[in-house]
Amino acid sequence: MTTPEKIAVLDIGKTNAKVVVLDCTTGEEIAERRAPNRVLPGPPYPHYDIETLWTFVLEALSAFAKQPGFDAISITTHGASAVLLDAEGGLALPVLDYEHEYPEDIRRAYQTIRPPFSETFSPSLSGGLNVGAQLHYQKTAFPEAFARTRTILTYPQYWAFRLTGVTANEVTSLGCHTDLWRPREGTYSPLVDTLGIRDLMAPVRSAFDALGPLLPDIAAQIGLSTPIPVHCGIHDSNASLLPHLVGREPPFAVVSTGTWVINFAVGGDLDHLDPQRDALANVDAYSRAVPSSRFMGGREFETLTAELGALSPEAALAAVPDVIESGLMLLPNIAAGSGPFPGRERQWINDTTASTDQRWAAACLYLALMTETCLDLIGSKGPVLVEGPFSANLAYLQALTALLGRQVVALPGSTGTSQGAALLAGISPNTKPGRSVPAPSWDVAAYRTAWHETLGR
């Protein structure tokens, strides 16, 4: 197989989907199209608008086949999703939105069968964030439709199947708090037998594998005259992690920001993770367990933007000293159901006379404090690499630098997921250096202490 010159990446996030083309020599994105990832209300439950996404993917690939061209395809998607295929390769049930909450009796029944954290390193999460809970819900609530299932796929590999006709599963999605995987052993957990689905699980393939060429009819529809390889694909947070695993020695931490803020302690251990505070193990593209933690920081930022208006980074940064002095604080959680402070509802402190800029400054301090807490929970050491949208938020970055007291590096570009997915297909890593965030002149020690004391921590 020849080395590709340009790679098209399907990058399907929880909020938005995009198709990008990357130049293999420079690692740069040279073309991009975006679309919202819509959730349909049902029936039978909230689910992703798969066919609209598929139309978007084909239209983007058709446009990019003409200009700038591409000669390989790779895939990355959000986690916490499984796809049930029937005997004809169609959907036995719609692809369930992981934020859907199940009836109480089904939730209670699932808790009696899920394996312990010490085995799976998956905390018990809300809705369908544990893929095992999704499958149990679908099997329990829709037994006739579930009985039509012949193959179960992880989500990136579903899109690879649509493109190639080849079914597969892959460890970064299986190891992403599913309850289905044992990260230390690299095997399925007993839950697959409890649910009776072992024979339905597609073969496990490496994220780096080329599953096959693009199906001829799809290649013709897109306008390609020669077959091109489609790679197996990878969970999005692990796609963000992958470029940093190439040529960087541990220990270090990666803060991958998007809808979720996912924190990885590369070189850490699994022995002290607290499942009650959303600490867990992810599994990287090389099948290694990585201590991780997270909160829904991007979703929280969107909520704040809807309430406060657009962030002015310079104004928020300038307002930080006044916020520290006045004790204006934002406490968790804005988005419920995840993160290191479960069960709490957000609260403003000392906000009676606060301006919008001051509220934004307090919000940036809040996001930094949440990130610091998540990094502490996984015992992270060494430099901290911030990628994704928060890498452009200087108030957040400087607050994080002050809180951690060690190097914070902001990485360029809006997201590392596409870069990581492209690495699977042979792209050269983007060597554009990050920028080391300067330490601010203000001191956050007393503010941090007050914030945690207010939380009772």
Q: pLDDT tens-digit profile of 230-268?
A: 999 999 989 989 988 987 899 999 999 988 999 999 998
What pLDDT score does 90 carry?
Answer: 98
- pLDDT at residue number 163: 98
pLDDT value for 430 = 65
Give the pLDDT of residue 415: 59
Please, what are the domains in the chain? Answer: 6-232 (3.30.420.40), 238-455 (3.30.420.40)
pLDDT in tens, the chain (457 residues): 578 999 999 999 999 999 999 999 888 899 999 999 999 999 999 999 999 999 999 999 999 999 999 999 999 999 999 999 999 999 999 999 999 999 999 999 999 999 999 999 999 998 999 999 999 999 999 999 999 999 999 999 999 999 999 999 999 999 999 999 999 999 999 999 999 999 999 999 999 999 999 999 999 999 998 889 999 999 998 998 998 898 789 999 999 998 899 999 999 889 899 999 999 999 999 999 999 999 999 999 999 999 999 999 999 999 999 999 999 999 999 998 789 999 999 999 999 999 999 999 999 999 999 999 999 999 999 999 999 899 999 999 999 999 999 999 998 765 578 989 999 998 877 656 789 999 999 999 999 999 999 999 7
Q: Compute the distance between CA of residue 237 and CA of residue 403 in angstroms, rounded to an integer.
A: 24
Tokens 């020695």 locate to 249
Distances (CA, A) of 363 to 293, 303, 377, 442: 20, 11, 21, 16
Give dist(CA 222, CA 232) in Å, integer: 20
Predicted pLDDT of residue 413: 65
**Closest by alpha carbon to 387, among 355, 409, 356?**
409
Please list, residue by residue across 144-173, b when 16 or more beta carbons sit within 10 angstroms of its beta carbon and e when fewer do.
Answer: ebbebbebbbbbbbbbbbbbbebbbbbbbb
> Which pLDDT does position 1 carry in this prediction?
54
Of 296, 213, 288, 202, nearest in space to 258 by CA: 296
Q: Are strands 252-257 and 29-36 parallel, antiparallel or unpaired?
A: unpaired
Report yes or no: 129 and 98 within 8 Å, Cβ to Cβ: yes
Which pLDDT belongs to residue 228?
96
Give the model's pLDDT for residue 352.
96
Closest listed residue to residue 3, CA positions, set 451, 428, 437, 357: 428
Helix orientation angle between 356-377 and 394-404, rounded to the nearest 10 degrees? 40
Query: What local confidence, expressed as pLDDT, does residue 17 receive?
Result: 97
